[in-house]
Structure 1
Amino acid sequence: MSLKVSPELLAEAQTGTVADDDFLDCVASSLPDAWKLVESLVDELEASGAEFADNRTVLTDEVAGQVLRMMASNAMRSAIERKHGVRLAFQNCHRVAVFKAGTEQSYERFTSSAAQLLNQNPELVNC
């Protein structure tokens, strides 16, 4: 299980209506290292003025596992994107990127097959 869901949040989900803030609090507390990584990339993006910010640091297995769980969930990714007004992208087990709205060409390059192949690293073969 990737999220630690409180009984209150579970009750919200059972009614079919979960507030983004409540859901994001659950994500942040359940996957704190992945959350910190994404938040730091959003901060970097805002400060830099660039089209995107990405992580190129190899992560520990624990952090990589959290990132994988976060990035594999459409619900988590969508909620994070709405909160920050960005688009998320992911390659391998460590390379997370946040893109400003309106940067489709940069996003398409980052998520292309060629970019995925060029991002391979023998050290990360089992990530």
Structure 2
Amino acid sequence: MSLTVTPDVLEAAEAGRLSDEAFVACVQESLPYAYGVVERLARRLPAAVAAGASCVVDDTVPPDDAAFGQLLRAFASTSIRGALERRFGVALAFQNCHRVGAFSPGGRAGDAYRRFTSPESQIRNQRPDLVNC
């Protein structure tokens, strides 16, 4: 399972009245490592942009399999990734099972995003110790 869903959240979803805030709170509770990575990047992005950067990247290898799993679940889900992007006002990209990039909301149209998500970048960022992440 990707998320731990409380009865209240399930009831709201079944009734078609699940708010973005409730969904993000469920994500934060269920995937705290992944949520924290995105939160830290979003906090760093404004200063990086002010200094002329197009993005910020976290390439910290998660501390354990559970943290890897959280990142994979968060970024494999369009709804989770979209909710995190809306919550933090960023565009997110994911690479090599752990490398997360945060871009300004319009950043998907920029060169930095294209470089980060390119096949060449994926190849350059392979690591033998992460073959089975």
TM-score by length of 1: 0.94
Counterpart of 1:62 in structure 2 is: 66
Instruction: Give the partner amino acid of 2:100.
Output: V
Runs of 4+ in structure 1 over 3 Å off = none
Measure the CA separation in 2 of the matches of 1:7 and 1:78: 23
Q: Percent identity over the alignment?
A: 48
Q: Note the residue ranges of structure 2 that are not aligned, 5 or more in a row.
A: none
Which residue among 86, 89, 111 is the counterpart of 1:85? 89
1:62 Cα offset (Å): 1.8
Describe the superposition over 1:76-123 as per-residue Cα deviations: whole angstroms up to 9, x where unpaired: 011111122211100012101111123322111111111111110101
Measure the CA separation in 2 of the matches of 1:27 and 1:102: 24
Deviates more, 1:25-34 or 1:94-103: 94-103
Instruction: Give the partner amino acid of 1:15.
Output: A
TM-score by length of 2: 0.90
Alignment of 1:88-99 (within 5 A): 88-99=92-103
Number of residue pairs aligned between Structure 1 and Structure 2: 127
